[in-house]
Amino acid sequence: MPSGSPTSGVGRIIAGRYQLLNRLGSGGMGHVWLAHDQRLACEVALKEIVFRDPAETDEREARVARARAEARHAAGLRGHPHVVTVHDVLEHEGLPWIVMEYVAGAVDLRDLIRRHGPLAPAECARIGLAVLDALTAGHERGVLHRDVKPANILLAPDRAGAPYGRVLLTDYGISVQPDAGEPRYTLASVLVGTSGYLAPERVTGGAPTPATDLFSLGCTLYYGVEGRGPFDRESHLAELTAVVMEDPRPAARAGALGPVLGALLEKDPARRMSAAQAEAGLSRIVTPEADAYARTQTDLGSQPHWDGAPPPGPAPEAAGFGSLPVFPRPGEALGFGSPDGYPSAAGHSSCGYSSSGYSSPSGHSSPSGYSLPEQPGGPQVFDPGPGRQPSTRPRVLHAVLAGLLGLAVAGAGVWYAMAQQSDPEGAERPYGEAVGLGEPLKAGDCVLADWPGATAFRGTPRLSLDPSCREKAPDGQVMAFVAAGSAAEARQEGPAACEKRTEGVRDRLADVRSFAVVPTEAGFEAAGRRTACLVLGAHGPVYGPLGEHRRPGSAFADTATMQRRDCLDVRSHRDARLVSCAGPHDEQVLGFTRLGADVTLTEARTESDTACAREVPPREYGFDPSVYTAGSWTSEGAWKSGTHFVVCTVRRQNGGTMEEVEP
């Protein structure tokens, strides 16, 4: 079976020791696998070099050398708390494999933003301090990273259980030691790095320096706080041009982080903020002094995002996508990228080297596009269509640890404040007067959420039911319950438990958030002694049932209910239905992408296929490009909410049906 197939390696034994369990993700250089170390009886991540195109063999020597360099450079930073540990590099059947640590529960920054939306400036600064610490350690050894970007920053649970407390820099695959006489491993046809995150001096042919990594860090932090990169454009070439010729887009949400971003994104490397200056600026945001704290308290851009809805700003900047860890996304085109698609490692034990590592997750249309008539209560449906000062890393670590306290209370749109309030109607209102429900929620209930002040995920929503789960364009659905011994226990543990219980369905949807409805003291018994776990649209209604509550054969009301790995029966250009993947089907959903803020829905009908072919290419999922092609679906709902997300699918080029045996 060819190496490029996603199942080609399952069960193989590499170097007589590592048994491949499943493919975690893919990138420009190859695949990353979850593997069992038979000698130590634990799990590791293995990076495999893959040559998908025979023409790529011309680059074989350079790419093999590049992999060895990655292992050497990353191993030189072994033990650093913010660098993914590389344990070994070995050869198997003539190609190198890199053995890295693996741990459950991590997600890369890109997917975290797509799941929850942009971060608060203080949280973004905390992440920036950790990455800066890792970069500084490399710079001290003469190693430049050269591909700092959101997909290469992993956030993993720390020992205290904070879900994103651990910050890890990964992928030294294109790093270089400028003064060591090493060759710079650049593929003949591409510029090594990631467009939109490359420093302007690199785009124009200049040599890499520590300042180039700092520019990329500035772009990454901008993405974290704004929800998109400062030079995001419709193509890689346009992004590279913008990096060199244009100013970054003004930051609307950065708050206190704004001045640091501006100094890091200075185009002249001689005038760019130094690492020591960046450390000082970020530290003041994470652990502000008394006078600075008074200022940031009234700065809307500095409020913790996960305690409520994204602060006001242009809708596309606040738009987020569901993180998709169960089914991997393709890697970046200009470098290896982080190994997207890491599933949870429940049941697996890592090799115990540290608590860091890999575990992040990461259309069908005719040229004229598809469209459906207006649905009752919902939108029109598918249209497929120069010097560095001495490092003070201990101070950085102190600041990072100080920031974890704020992170511990971070969550995804949970409500439990009303559980502390008195309920004048007692048990007749299980969740309190503000929520307003007279009966406890049941599994599968579709709800409408009326938020105070019309700002979603801020305050206490008044909930009502949509029995049909379609007629009133529901905002979400009850997906699970969490039992508790007392109202106090429900109040304390319910929100985090709901986040975990709904993770599976949220990871397969494009734009949703978890939300916990906790019973009051007086209503605890009436609520069945349990917290109701909702999945709500992050930026608008979901327009129909979600997950297992969808019935096979039912027509989709909106792209919001489409999930990764859904199989579709396309009845017409206006009618797509959910069917079992075990039988014949016309398309399969692979993932999601987003079109630009200036793209209209009409334009999306002709541009979405191209965007999906570029961002979610079927070949990365094992589909033969000579047989299959990318397709897409769009809906008016995504344009009403400002998210502009597109559902990306795969279909046969000849229009035939797909079968169960296909990837």
Give the residue numbers annotated as catalytic, written as ranges.
147
For CA atoms 70, 72, 76, 78, the dihedral sign is positive
Contact partners, residue 497, CB within 8 Å, separation at least 6: 482, 516, 531, 533
Torsion of CA 88, 89, 92, 94, to 10 degrees: -170
Residue 128 has phi, psi (to 5 degrees) of -60, -40
What residues are paired with 592 via a beta bridge? 647
Letter string b/e over residues 545-559, b meaning 16 or more CB atoms within 10 A of that residue's CB: bbbebbeeeebbbbb
**Residue the block writes with tokens 């994470």:** 286
Distance CA 382, CA 561 (A): 12
Nearest-10 Cα torsion for 557, 555, 328, 19: 150
Assigned token pair, 377: 């209560």
47 is in an annotated binding site: yes
Q: Which residue has the tokens 């494009």?
A: 510
Sheet containing strand 107-108, edge to edge, reads: 107-108, 153-156, 166-169
- Indicate the SS3 state at residue 356: coil
DSSP reduced 3-state for 30: strand
The count of other CB atoms within 10 Å of the CB of residue 346 is 7
DSSP states along 110-168: HHHHHHH-SPPHHHHHHHHHHHHHHHHHHHHTT-B-----GGGEEEE--TT--TT-EEE
Give the C-alpha distances (Å, rounded to integers) separating 206 from 150, 199, 201, 269, 547.
23, 9, 5, 11, 50
**Kind and range of the H or E run holding 222:** helix 210-226
Annotated binding site: 47
Annotated binding site for ATP: 47
